[in-house]
Amino acid sequence: MAIKGNLRDVGLNQLLNLIYLAHKTGALAIENEASRADARLYFKEGKLIQAALDGKAPRLTEIMVRVGKLTPEQAKAIHARSRVDTDKELGLLLIQNGILNQQDIIQGVKNYLLEAVYQIFTWRSGNFRFDPNLLPPDERITVAVTLDHLIIEGTRRVQEWEHLKDELPDLDVPLKFAERPDLNLRNVSLSVEQWKVVSFINSRNTIRQIASFLKIDEFQIRRIVYGLQTAGLVDVLPSPVAASAPRATAPVPSAPVGRSLITRVIDRLRSL
Amino acid sequence: MQTVKMVITGPFNSGKTSFIGSVSEIPVVRTERKITDETRNVKNQTTVAMDFGRITIDKDLALYLFGTPGQKRFDFMWEILSEGMLGFVVLIDSSRPETFREARRILDTFRSYSNTPFVIAANKQDDEDAWPADDLKIALGLDSNVRVLPCVATSKESVKNILLELLYVILETAPEEPAPARKR
C-alpha cells in the first residue's frame, strides 16, 4: 500500500529516515506546492538509487555534463558517434574510449543524486506518495547512496536555508554595488554563478527577477546574494518602487540613455 | 547612484583584462582558475568568468566595464552580460589572424542581441606582426561605416581613445532629450 501525505506534515528528513530504517524499496514521488516542480526518487533496500526531477531522469551523459565530468560538446559527439540505447552501454563506451573511468561515472551519478535530494530538502510543502517495490527502468545506471549522511547533510542545509531566509527575507528588492573605497577587491574571486547575478545588478531588477531569469531557485539565489553581501560587493536596496511594481518574469531592460548622460561620461573620460 | 555599463568582448587572449585594467579605478575583479583544455598552451591562467572594472563619472553616476569570458564554452554568458549595455568593444589581437574568424563570430553574435553601438579595437598594435586596423577591417569583411581603431590595451591613453570613440558612436544614436520646461 502506498504511503501518502504532505511535506508540511512529514518532512523529507522524516520520510528518508523511515525508508532508511525500514530498508524500504520503492518510488517516492513529490510535487512542490510552491513551484509545481516534481521529483521521483527510487530506493532499494533503504538506499537511494535514482532521482528524476521534473518528470525526467537524465541520461548518463547529461548527468556527467551537469557534474562537470564531460563538456556539452563531448556529450553531443558521443551521442552522434554511438548507437547505444541504454546508459549501461553508454557508460561502457565512455570507459572503453578512455573518456571516463568507472570511478568517475559512479562518483558523478552519486553527486547528481545528492544534489537532487538536497534541492528537494528546500521544499517546504507538497504532496508525496511512496509506492513500494516500484523500481526504475533497467536501462539506467543506478548507484546506491546510503541515507544516513544524506539526512544529516540535508537537515544541515535546511538550517542554512532558514538562516539565509532570516538574512535575506525579501527577494522583491533590487541590489546595488557597494560603495566602499577601502574594500580590497584584489583577492576577491567569484564563481560563474555569482558573476551571472552581478551582471544583472541595477536598481530596476529585483533579486527575484534575476533568479527567475537565470533559472536559479530561491535557495541558490539567497546563497549567492548573501555571499556577495558578505564579501562587501553588494548591498540590498530597500526600494518601495521595486516592491510596488508589477513582478515581471525577466529583468527589466535599462531605459534609453539620454545625450546629457553620454556627454558627462565623455567629459570624465577625457579628463582621466 | 546611477550606473551604466559597457561590455568588452573578443576572442580568447585578445587583451580584455588588460584593457579594463588600464582605465579601471578599482583593481579588476576577476575569477581565474587553471585551464584544462586546448587553450592551455596559450597562457598559464585565463579568465573563466569575466572581468569587471569601474570608472566613477561623478557623485551620481558610475561606468562599469564588463569583460566577457575568454573561452567559447562560456559564451552562454554573453547575452546575459549584454543586457542593458550602452555599447560594446570587440577587442582583437591584430597579430593573430587565426583569431579573426572567431572575432567576427563574436561580433555577429553580439549584434544579434540588439543594435547597440560598438567599435572594433585592433589590439597589440605595438607587436611587429600586428595587422594594421584598415587591413583588419577588410579581413573581417566589415561595412565601411564600422569603426576599426588601432589599440594597445596596456596603454591608458589608447584605451581611453577607444572608449571615447565608442561614446561618440553612442552619442550619434542617443535620443534627443526634451527641453526643460520654461519657468513663467
Q: Are residues A137 and A222 in the same domain?
A: no
Residue A230 pLDDT > 90, yes or no? Answer: no
**Average pLDDT of the segment spanning B143-166:** 95
Q: Which amino acid is at B85?
A: M
Give chain B's domains with CATH numbers.
2-173 (3.40.50.300)
pLDDT at A122: 82
For residue B136, give the nearest of B113, B157, B152, B120 by alpha carbon.
B120
Q: Are residues A226 and A94 in the same domain?
A: no
The band of A97, judged by pLDDT with boundaries at 50, 70 and 90, is confident
Beta strands in chain A (DSSP E): 3-6, 26-31, 38-44, 47-53, 127-132, 145-146, 175-177, 234-236
**Average pLDDT of the segment spanning A251-264:** 71
Q: What is the pLDDT of residues A42-66, one digit of tens each?
A: 999 999 999 988 877 788 888 888 7
Residue B114 pLDDT > 90, yes or no? Answer: no
Q: Are residues A129 and A203 in the same domain?
A: no
A253 at the B interface (CB within 8 A)?
A: yes
| ipTM of the complex as predicted | 0.84
pLDDT at B88: 95
Q: Are residues A91 and A221 in the same domain?
A: no
The band of B23, judged by pLDDT with boundaries at 50, 70 and 90, is very high
B25 to chain A, closest Cα gap in Å: 10
**Average pLDDT of the segment spanning A225-249:** 65
Do the domain assignments include residue A264?
yes
Q: In this complex, do B49 and A256 lie within 8 Å of one another by their Cβ atoms?
A: no
Chain A residue with the nearest C-alpha to that of B172? A259
Within 8 A of A251 by CB-CB distance, chain B residues are: 83
Mean pLDDT of chain B: 82
Q: In this complex, do B26 and A177 lie within 8 Å of one another by their Cβ atoms?
A: no
Residue B174 pLDDT > 90, yes or no? Answer: no
Q: Are residues A256 and A198 in the same domain?
A: yes
Highest average pLDDT, of A42-51, A150-159, A174-183, A240-249, comes from A42-51
Q: Are residues A241 and A156 in the same domain?
A: no
**Crossing angle for the helix pair A147-167 and A218-230, to the nearest 10 degrees:** 60
> Which of A13-22, A120-129, B33-42, B49-58 is the least confident region?
B33-42
Within 8 A of A264 by CB-CB distance, chain B residues are: 57-58, 61
A266 to chain B, closest Cα gap in Å: 6
Q: Where is the domain boundary, A165, A189, A216?
A: A165
B54 to chain A, closest Cα gap in Å: 11
Share of chain B above pLDDT 90, in %: 40
Residue B38 pLDDT > 50, yes or no? Answer: no
Q: In this complex, do B83 and A256 lie within 8 Å of one another by their Cβ atoms?
A: no
pLDDT at A183: 61
Q: Where is the domain boundary, A140, A165, A190?
A: A165
Cα–Cα distance for residue pair A138/A270, rounded to 1 Å: 68
Note whether A84 and A95 are within 8 A (CB).
Answer: no
Within 8 A of A192 by CB-CB distance, chain B residues are: 31, 48-49, 74, 77
Highest average pLDDT, of A100-104, B134-138, B151-155, comes from B151-155
Q: Are residues A159 and A186 in the same domain?
A: no
DSSP letter, residue A250: S
For residue A50, give the nearest of A110, A5, A123 by alpha carbon.
A110
Q: Where is the domain boundary, A117, A144, A165?
A: A165
Within 8 A of B74 by CB-CB distance, chain A residues are: 192
Within 8 A of A190 by CB-CB distance, chain B residues are: 29, 31, 49
Residue A131 pLDDT > 90, yes or no? Answer: yes
Classify residue A11 as exposed, middle or buried by CB count within 10 Å of its CB (0-12, 13-18, 19+). Answer: middle
A176 at the B interface (CB within 8 A)?
A: yes
Do the domain assignments include residue A170?
no
Overall domain count for chain A: 2
pLDDT at B148: 96
Q: Are residues A148 and A197 in the same domain?
A: no
Residue A171 pLDDT > 50, yes or no? Answer: yes
For residue A4, give the nearest of A133, A134, A127, A132 by alpha carbon.
A127
Nearest by CB to A262, which of B54, B83, B171?
Answer: B171
B101 to chain A, closest Cα gap in Å: 20
- For residue B182, what is its C-alpha cell? 520654461
Between B175 and B15, residue with greater pLDDT: B15
A251 at the B interface (CB within 8 A)?
A: yes
**Average pLDDT of the segment spanning B163-180:** 85
Mean pLDDT of chain A: 83
Residue A11 pLDDT > 50, yes or no? Answer: yes
